Every structure is written in C-alpha cells, then in structure tokens.
Amino acid sequence: MRNLSAPRKLRLAVLISGGGTNLQAMIDRSHAGTLDAEIVAVLSDRAGAFGLKRAEKANIPAFHVDYAKPVELKTAQRLADLADLDRRQKILKNADPAERLARLAKLVTVEHEILRTLDSFRPDYVCLAGFMRLLTPYFIGRLNAGGPRILNIHPAILPSFPGSHGYEDTFEYGCKWGGVTVHFVDEGEDTGPIIAQAVYPVWPGDDIERVRTRGLSIEYEVYSQVINWLAGGYVAIQKDPNGNTRVEITDPKYAEILARWVQKACTPRE
Ligand code: GRF
C-alpha cells in the first residue's frame, strides 16, 4: 500500500567504478524534481572514475576507497569472523582456503571503511551503479540487517547473463530482445530479489554500441522509477511458500509504466 503521507525524499549513496552515466541520470532527475531522492554521497573504488567528477560538479560529497591498500589479517579478523564469512560467501571461487581468507581480509577491511563513510551520511539505500567489486556477506549483512537496502542495476534480464558483460553477452548470443534488471543485492552474484525489469529490441544490423546505448537509456528510466516506487511505498517485499524473497510493485500505474517503457524502447529507431 502507498503511504498516505507525502513521499519523503530518500537519501541515496551511490557506489560506482566508472563513467557514472546512471549516477548522472539520478543527479539530473533529482535536480529536475522527478526523482523522489537526493544523492548524499558517492563512493568509487577507482580514483580516476569520471563519476567522481560528476558528483563533485553537483556538490555531492565524493570519496575514493582504496582496494589496493595493504591489509593485516589480524585487523580484518577483529572486524569479522573470516572463517564464518568464508563458509557463507558465494563470491570467491578460489579453491585454496588460505587465499580466500586473505582475499576476504582485504575486502572486509575496505568494506569497513566504506560502511563508516556511509554511516556518516545515513543513506536509506545504497545504489550500485557500475560498481565492479564483489561484496562480502559482512558488508551485505550490515546494510541489510533491517531489510534489503542495497540496489543494483544489471544490464541484462536476470537470471540470464549475470556477470559484468550483460550487453556483450546478450548481443553475442543473438538475442532479439535485451533488457535490464534492478534488484536487491543478496550474497550471491546478481542473484538478489528482482524489483523491476524492462526490455528493448535488438534490431537487424545493430552493433554492440547501439545495443548498449539503447539499453543504458532504459537503465536510467528503470532505476529512477524503482527509487520513486521505494519512496512512494510501492515496493512490497514478501516470502514465497519456499521461503524465497519476492518483490511486488503495488503501484496502480504499474502496467501503464511498463507499456511506456516498451513503447519508448521500440520507437524511435535510432
Ligand atoms: C551499466 O551498464 C550498469 O548496468 C552496469 O555497469 C554499467 C555502468 O554504467 N552495472 P555507468 O557507469 O552508469 O555509465
């Protein structure tokens, strides 16, 4: 059910690694008053990410977090039980337990720093927008303690084409429709509960760049709509009979919005 009180503007922190066009779309919509949210902080794992410049230009506090910093296993062990994390984690495939622990120690130490920064900005949600790092159950568990609070945008229709090459994989497979997914983040890679998906056609004669451009413009639309649904209280989180988390959008305009996305994706043809 929609909250009867006027929707409160959500506080968003955005994590990026690159160009940050999704971030820019959020900033633009926030300034235009069409996003029911303000971006309170931007963090990047790459010092040179253009998205950091976009944030600074919009006067949004912007931070670089250094994943290359040397890390002490002992320090990390004080932050989290690494052996327990190793049992729960689904992201590191390396067979050598010592190497996994060393990797987890590194990740947890940086994640601790990210969490400290995030805490100081009190975000309602943390939006991943092209953030190219694996997140451990330590980070996810801390943020999701009171319910799912981490969002991700993925450039394919999950569960097809997880990983970091959604557009390339869609195009190379010869799909006639591609799509984008906004989902809550859980402990797997691109496996969290799906909030919204939208599709676009792959036209005869397309190349990967045209496909990516078409897809990205839909990403901006879908991500901001999901944020507005969250702000408006239209995102119902439930458990299905098998105990899986499922999301239902309760906006009465849902069908209308989906139809608009499809129509926009199909016309005009660039
Ligand atoms: C987007 O395609 C997003 O779906 C993926 O990474 C890309 C980020 O692009 N996760 P940008 O940095 O927002 O331009």
The per-residue pLDDT for range 123-165, each reduced to its tens digit, is: 999 999 999 999 999 999 999 999 999 999 999 999 999 999 9
Average pLDDT of 230-258?
97
Q: What is the pLDDT of residues 175-234, one digit of tens each?
A: 999 999 999 999 999 999 999 999 999 999 999 999 999 999 999 999 999 999 999 999
Nearest of 135, 127, 140, 146 to residue 106 by alpha carbon: 135
With a 6 A CB cut-off, is 219 part of the ligand 1 pocket?
Answer: yes
End-to-end CA distance of the chain: 39
With a 6 A CB cut-off, is 14 part of the ligand 1 pocket?
Answer: no
Closest approach atom of ligand 1 to CA 18: 12
Q: How far is CA 223 from CA 127, 135, 137, 166, 216, in A?
A: 9, 20, 24, 16, 10
Tell the residue nearest (CA) to atom 5 of ligand 1.
130
With a 6 A CB cut-off, is 162 part of the ligand 1 pocket?
Answer: no
CB neighbourhood size of 78 (10 A): 10
Known catalytic residues? 154
Q: Is 117 helix (H, G, I), strand (E, B) or coil?
A: helix
Consecutive H or E run containing 128: strand 125-128
Nearest of 179, 178, 161 to residue 169 by alpha carbon: 161
pLDDT above 50 (res 2): no
Tell the residue nearest (CA) to atom 7 of ligand 1.
130
**Residue 267, pLDDT score:** 80
Q: Which domains does the chain have, with CATH numbers?
A: 10-265 (3.40.50.170)
Q: What is the pLDDT of residues 20-55, one digit of tens each?
A: 999 999 999 999 999 999 999 999 999 999 999 999
